Every structure is written in structure tokens, then in C-alpha cells.
Structure 1
Amino acid sequence: MAEEKPYLTGRTYIFRLPKGKDLLESLADFCHDNQVKCGVVNVVGSVVNATVGYYDQSKKKYEKKVINEEMELLSLMGNISIQDNRPMVHAHVVLADSEFNTVGGHLLPGTKIYVCEAYIQELVGEPKVRRSDKVTKLSLWA
């Protein structure tokens, strides 16, 4: 394992995400546009639909669940690093339906924003870079 170095806190952003856009893509685009290469992200709000994943460790692949209904976004937490020379957001979510049932998982492309408020804390230092891991088949920090 490489020697870990501390990070300093950089810029802090609080903002609303655009209605109707893809949640994961919108966060990554914001990071790209504002040159945020490393950080943490939190989001609350609601979505029109959601796509989440569960990583099956034995199959070494994500099982995808598409939810075609309005959901409350109770919590999105994640990190920002670099993959393929571009900011990449790795996020997990907890969502609730109209019956107050919850579902959670790895946020995948395909989750459409209704209204979402985001908080991004930039971390200043050597950005973490994601690379494919041979053992898990996941894109992990190198």
C-alpha cells in the first residue's frame, strides 16, 4: 500500500442540481466544470426514477435495479476522484418510496433528478486515481 498523505479542505460548494438531468452525470459535470478532482459529496432531495446497483462479489459484477417511480433521496454520500482523466463520482444512495419503504445501493447512471440539493467539499492534495482491480474487477483507488 502506498504511503497515505493528509488532505487539506479546499472550496466548499452548496448548490441545486438541474431538474430532469441524470444525477450521477450532473455531479461529475459540476466537478469537471469547477476543476474538483478530489472530494466528498452529499445530496438530499427527490428523484423521478432511480437506478441502483448491488455488487455481487462471487459474480464480480453489479446487479442493477431500475425503479420507475418517484422516490425521496434520503441520502447520497460519496467521493470524488479521477478516472480516465476526468472527475468520477462514486456514490451510494438510500431512497424511500411513497409507502416509506427504503432501498439503497450503488448509484448508477439513469437516476433522473426532480429536485436535489448538493454539498461538495473539495480535498486539496494528490488526487486519488481509479484503476481496474484484477482481483475484484472493480475500479478502485490506485
Structure 2
Amino acid sequence: MMNNQLLQLLIERLKAKGKTIAVAESCTGGLFSGALTEIPGSSDCFGLGVITYSNLAKHEQLGIPWEILNQFGAVSYQTAFFMAQSVKRLAQSDLGISFTGIAGPSGGTETKPVGLVYMALALEDSCVVRKFYFTGPRHEIRMATVQEGINLVLHYFK
């Protein structure tokens, strides 16, 4: 279950600062965007969320270079960085957040295990990328990713 108080706080802070946010999701499949839209008034600060689950979608919708996807993979620091920057630019928003990871139960490797998630927050003049290792079943990994995304944006306002 998502923490609605934190979501409400996130929306209030975005609105108070006059900031907008856009979202690019892969492993979360729209959960972050869905969580934002649970909060009344979120349309004042949230206008675009894209789900780019495949590499083709990441390339075609967000313009992630094939060189990045081929060299580093969809689940990488570089891809998360480009996703956040691209969705921010695409939406002409103040902030862009992205999520890419391996939610399982399959798909993991020795170097990229199930539970590995990268998220990035593109700010006005910089981009912060975080790497996480979550455990548990698929749903828990995805929900933990969304929760950490909320925390990441809230941290921006501190």
C-alpha cells in the first residue's frame, strides 16, 4: 500500500514551488504515475507519464541512443539518466524521474540480479541517479521502487 500522506506532501511541495514533474517508467509499469494521480490536484504539477518497457520504446519514445542500450543495457545508470532527462525535455517540465530495473521473478543475471533498480531525477541543472537492490516478490520490488522514488523527489525539496 502506498503512503498517501507522503504522496500528498509531494504534490503539495511541487505545487508550492510551482514545479512540474514528468515520469518515465519501465519496471514500475505506470505505478509511480498512478500513485501521483491518486492525489487530487496532481494535474497542477504532473502532466506526462510514459511507460517504455522495451528497448525499442525507450529508443523511439525517449530517444535513448541504441549505443547506450546496447553497451550498458536497459537496466543501467546511463539508461536511467537518459530516461529522466528525456522525459523532462519531452514534457517541458521542471523535473523528470525515471525507473528501470529487474522486478523478477526471472530476468536477473549474476551482474544484474532480480531486485536491481536504477532511478534518476533530472533537476533544472543536474541529474541524480540512485541504485537500489530490493528483495521480495515482484509486487514488493515494484512498490519499494515507487516508495523510494517518492522519497527521492521529497529529498530534492529539503
Normalised by the length of structure 2, the TM-score is 0.34
Higher strand share: 1
Higher helix share: 2
The structure that has the greater radius of gyration is 1
Bigger relative CO (Cα 8 Å, ≥ 6 apart) = 1
